[in-house]
């Protein structure tokens, strides 16, 4: 008899589990997509630098931990985050630009207007590198380590607060050559 009573309570228990699940998911962003390249090497590529036209490959950008910023002149949010990038570049942070699916002239004009925070700029005119990287919409900001592995991805407008709270600790760890445990 007692077992029957417990049976009747099963729907209630299942429902409470469901409610708990739903509550845990409120406020999270269902469209947030973690990078599939985390912990894996940055993809190989053979493209030119936007400004100098020098050929660039993966070897040219790896060697030390760096930030890779995906941007384009047609992207309104990129304009918003540009000042923060300038400030961080002035503080000595190595930022590599990935100019994604852009017209080179427009991109150059954009930089002339707003300043160039990038050490090198990979001109990914067709978007092939972006596709290999798993980019789905500018702006995106990646952290790569000395080996050239992708350790972090942030999607959205990048600013000082986000740098301080999310990327800086990870970057510090990479600099000291330790385990990238803070990079999630």
Partner 1 sequence: MIAELGHFALVLALVIALLQATLPLYGVYANIPALQRFARSSALMQAFCLILSFAGLIVAFLQNDFTLDYVSRQSNTLLPYYYKISAVWGGHEGSLLLWVLVLSLWGAAVSLFSHSLPREMVARVLAIIGMVGVALMSFILMTSNPFNRILPDFPLDGADLNPLLQDIGLIVHPPILYMGYVGFTVPFAFAMAALLGGRLDSAWARWSRPWAVAAWCFLTVGIALGSWWAYYELGWGGWWFWDPVENASFMPWLAGTALIHSLAVSEKRGVFKAWTVMLAIIAFALSLLGTFLVRSGVLTSVHAFASDPARGMFVLGILTVVIGGSLLLFALRASHLNSESRYALVSRESFLLVNNLLLVTATTVVLLGTLYPLIADALTLGKVSVGAPYFNALFMPLAFILLVFMGLGSLSNWKRHDIRSFIPLWKVLAVAVFLGVALPLFFFGTAPIKVMMSASLCVWVLLSIVRDVWLKARTAKQGILAGLGRLSRSYYGMQLAHIGILVTILGVTFTSNYSIERDVRMGVGDSVNVGPYHFEWQGIRDIQGANYRATQAEVKVSKDGELVSLLHPEKRIYVVQNRSMTEAAIDSGLFRDVYVAMGEPLDNNQWAVRVYYKPFVRWLWLGALMMAAGGILAMSDRRYRIAARQATPVVSQGATAK
Partner 2 sequence: MSINLSVSSYQLAVIVRGMLTGLLLSLLSVASHAAIDVYEFKTPVEEQRFQALMGELRCPKCQNQNLAGSDAEIAKDLKKRTYQLMEEGKSDNEIREYMIERYGDFITYKPPVRGSTYLLWFGPFALLIVVVIALLVIRRRQVAPAPSLSPEESARLSELLKRSSHDQ
Chain residues binding partner 1 by CB under 8 A are 1, 4-5, 8-9, 11-12, 15-16, 18-19, 21-28, 30-31, 33-34
**Cβ-based burial of 36 (10 A; exposed 0-12, middle 13-18, buried ≥19):** exposed
Helix (H), strand (E) counts: the chain: 7, 7
Task: For partner 1, give the closer residue by CB, 30 or 92.
Answer: 30
| Least Å from the CB of residue 40 to partner 2 | 8
| Least Å from the CB of residue 140 to partner 1 | 16
* Residues 133, 181: Cα–Cα separation, whole Å: 22
| Least Å from the CB of residue 140 to partner 2 | 11
Task: For partner 2, give the closer residue by CB, 60 or 74.
Answer: 74
- For residue 82, the partner it binds in partner 2, partner 1, none, with Cβ less than 5 to 8 A by kind, is none
Task: For partner 1, give the closer residue by CB, 22 or 112.
Answer: 22
């Amino acid at each position: 008899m007692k077992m029957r009573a417990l049976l009747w309570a099963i729907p209630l228990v299942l429902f409470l589990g469901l409610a708990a699940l739903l509550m845990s998911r409120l406020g999270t962003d269902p469209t947030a997509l973690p990078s599939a390249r985390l912990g894996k090497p940055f993809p190989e590529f053979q493209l030119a630098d936007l400004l100098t036209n020098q050929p660039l490959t993966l070897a040219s950008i790896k060697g030390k931990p760096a930030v890779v910023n995906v941007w384009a002149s047609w992207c309104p949010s990129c304009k918003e985050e540009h000042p923060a990038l300038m400030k961080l570049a002035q503080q000595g942070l190595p930022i590599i630009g990935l100019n994604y699916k852009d017209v080179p002239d427009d991109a150059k004009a954009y930089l002339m207007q707003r300043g160039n925070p990038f050490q090198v700029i990979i001109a990914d005119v067709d978007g092939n590198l972006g596709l290999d990287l798993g980019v789905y919409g500018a702006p995106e900001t990646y952290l790569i380590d000395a080996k050239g592995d992708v350790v972090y991805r942030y999607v959205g407008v990048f600013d000082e607060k986000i740098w301080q709270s999310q990327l800086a600790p990870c970057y510090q760890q990479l600099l000291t050559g330790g385990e990238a445990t803070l990079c999630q």
